[in-house]
Amino acid sequence: MKVVLLGPPGAGKGTQAARIAEYLNVPSVASGDLFRDHQKRDTELGRLARSYMQRGVLVPDEVTISMVTEWIETEAGDGGFLLDGFPRTLGQAEALDGALSNADGLDRVLYIRVANDELVRRLTGRLVCRECGVTFHRVSNPPPADGACGDCDGGELYEREDDRPEAVGKRLEVYFSETAPLIDYYREAGILREVDGEQSIEDVGQELVEKLGGAS
Ligand code: AP5
Ligand code: MG
Ligand code: ZN
């Protein structure tokens, strides 16, 4: 199955991606994680991406599209994939359709819906593991008491640079102008399924898995 996770910053895409990928037995990738990995390795692409991400705006389509389509070609194989955070412009969606045109296209777009005030709460309390990328939240999903990651071997937790209040406001603005139009784009294609993201992490995951199949 070829699946996309769509939703505003802080909706819980990263939190749910591992579970869905495991359920489907497909590789998954977050475009944001690919960019953060380039930054860690201090590549040219990483330095370019950082200049946009820091400000909470999107990295230009051309570099983003070639990075993700290359990942699909080299990592995804024939069994499908899960994409988190790509596409997020109409240009990216059309490029993805083009890249998949001889493979039946996407099967599902799972849209995680969360209201703005809750998104701000989630982003401002988020902690991310530097080693394995797993996400915690100071209040709703706290890490182990010693403040280290409980998922890998005690990796260090940090706050993302773009979770500062100024960048969060900008990211939400950019989401509504650039990415929200994809909801209708995929609804018209008949592959969009909407999930209420303001339930427990467990219940959101359950509903996402249910919406992978079935007609509604
Ligand atoms: P990216 O890394 O994709 O960030 P994002 O879309 O802004 O989304 P987040 O990762 O912030 O949120 P999430 O939905 O994964 O939420 P999470 O699971 O962590 O992109 C970063 C930047 O990279 C972009 O701004 C852009 O510059 C660039 N970029 C990336 N892709 C691009 C593209 N395609 N084109 C151009 N540029 C691109 O959860 C958030 C918090 O909430 C956590 O603390 C979590 O523990 C908590 N939480 C999760 N679920 C629940 C729940 N059900 N209840 C309570 N708390 C919860
Ligand atoms: Mg994420
Ligand atoms: Zn970890």
Q: What is the pLDDT of residues 35-48, one digit of tens each?
A: 999 999 999 999 99
Instruction: Compute the distance between CA of residue 125 and CA of residue 157 in angstroms, rounded to an integer.
Output: 12
Residue 202 makes CB contacts below 8 A (sequence gap 6+) with: none
Average of per-residue pLDDT across 105-112: 96
Sign of CA dihedral 212, 116, 33, 181: positive
Instruction: Compute the distance between CA of residue 54 and CA of residue 152 in angstroms, rounded to an integer.
Output: 27
Q: 120-155: per-residue pLDDT in tens?
A: 999 999 999 998 889 999 998 999 988 899 889 899
Ligand 1: residue whose CA is nearest its atom 52: 201
Instruction: Compute the distance between CA of residue 107 and CA of residue 205 in angstroms, rounded to an integer.
Output: 18
CA of 175 from ligand 1 middle (Å) equals 11
What per-residue confidence (pLDDT) applies to 53? 97
Ligand 1: residue whose CA is nearest its atom 48: 12
121 is catalytic: no
Which candidate, 158, 171, 166, 151, places its Cα nearest to that of 126? 158
Token pair in block for residue 192: 């969009």
Atom of ligand 1 nearest to the CA of 136: 46
pLDDT band for position 215 (cuts 50, 70, 90): low
Instruction: Compute the distance between CA of residue 99 and CA of residue 93 in angstroms, rounded to an integer.
Output: 10
- Give residues whose Cβ lies within 5 Å of ion ligand 3: 129, 131-132, 134, 149, 151-152, 155
User: Catalytic residue among 13, 36, 108, 122, which?
Assistant: 13
Q: 56-90: per-residue pLDDT in tens?
A: 999 999 999 999 999 999 999 788 999 999 999 99
Atom of ligand 1 nearest to the CA of 160: 11
Indicate the pTM of the whole model. Answer: 0.95
Helix (H) or strand (E) holding 193, with range, is strand 192-196
Residue type (1 letter), 86: F
The pairing of beta strand 126-129 with beta strand 157-158: antiparallel
Instruction: Compute the distance between CA of residue 100 and CA of residue 80 in angstroms, rounded to an integer.
Output: 11
Query: Is 111 buried (19+), middle (13-18) or exposed (0-12) by CB count in 10 A?
Result: buried
Ligand 1: residue whose CA is nearest its atom 5: 9
Residue type (1 letter), 36: R
